[in-house]
Amino acid sequence: MSRLLGVAAASVALAVSGCGGVSELDSEESNTVIQARSVVDAAVTDGTLTPAGEKTLEDLMVICHEKPLAESDGESMRNLMTEIAPRLKAADPQFSKRLRKFAAHGC
């Protein structure tokens, strides 16, 4: 009986230690999020996504993959990706599709 309680207690301890809660964005990641929003706004306005803009959005994808539940302005990275993908469709349909797919399966 005590062995069973010991195994149960160890299992609970491992489960609790593995659940660290929502990850926080560091200042560099927060800047990437801000830049990504600006890139999407500029692409919508200009009608095209620049190579530098693609790089910024790829950096955002990395953050989303590593910290999908981290929040910026009360919005999770996963939700942010879901929000910006359709906005980018007119400027770069192919990259927009890539972002939608990533938001659904990569974050």
Under the banding of pLDDT at 50, 70 and 90, the label for residue 18 is very low
Q: What is the CA radius of gyration of the chain?
A: 19
Under the banding of pLDDT at 50, 70 and 90, the label for residue 38 is very high
User: In this predicted structure, what is the pLDDT of residue 23?
Assistant: 82
User: In this predicted structure, what is the pLDDT of residue 106?
Assistant: 82
Reduced to 3 states (helix: H, G, I; strand: E, B; else coil), residue 72 is strand
Nearest to 52 by CA among 64, 40, 62, 66: 40
Q: Give me the amino acid identity at 95.
A: F
Q: Which tens digits make up the pLDDT trace of 44-103?
A: 999 999 999 999 999 999 999 999 999 998 899 999 999 999 999 999 999 999 999 998
pLDDT of residue 37 exceeding 80 = yes
Q: Which residue do the tokens 């990533």 mark? A: 102
Q: Is the dihedral of CA 105, 88, 76, 37 positive or negative?
A: positive
| Reduced DSSP (H G I as helix, E B as strand, rest coil) percent helix, strand, coil of the chain, to 5 | 70, 5, 25
Residue boundaries of the structural domains of the chain: 25-105
